[in-house]
A = this chain, B = another copy of it.
Amino acid sequence: MPFPETEIPGRLQALLAQRGIRMTDQRRAILSVIETANKHLDASQLLRKAQKLDPSVDRSTVYRTLGLLKRQGMIDELDLMHLNGEGHYYERKLGRDHIHMACLRCGKITEFVSERFESLKSQMEQECRFHILVARLEVGGYCTACRR
């Protein structure tokens, strides 16, 4: 089963500069947290980690930066079946979309890349004449370990 590729560090900062977007210490801290994260982070986790790099980072700056990155198509926003509360999760958007499977018992998140997903998106674009900018497939159920 194929998995998504990993991140080249410093890439987000370069991309923003390339698009003429102003860089600040606070943004650098937040970008660095997103790029080095080894799991899906919500806004408050992101805030705490960013404040370790730059204590001046404020909650509102985190949300404003997430908004910027979403508009630029550099991150994806996830629900992960709202396993813990109502908040959202964020992750670096890489070349290929991937699917998220959330185990409703142990909370484990599994990622999955599939050619059939790409094929389905093509079908939607053609048959519905819809121009897809963001596609989010999230699944809830039981992982291998949790189903009896």
Chain A residues close to B by CB (< 8 Å): 1, 77, 79, 81-82, 86, 99, 101, 103-104, 110, 112, 114, 116-117, 119-121, 123-124, 127-144, 147
Contact = CB atoms under 8 A, between A and B. Distances in A.
Given A135-B137, A137-B136, A142 B130 contact: yes
Copies in the complex: 2
A139 B120 CA distance: 12
Nearest to A137: B137
B130 A139 contact: yes
Contacts of A136: 79, 136-139
Nearest to A2: B127
Contact of A147 (B103, B131, B142): B131
12 contacts: A79-B136, A104-B133, A110-B130, A114-B124, A116-B119, A121-B139, A130-B139, A131-B141, A133-B140, A133-B142, A134-B141, A137-B137
A99 B119 CA distance: 14
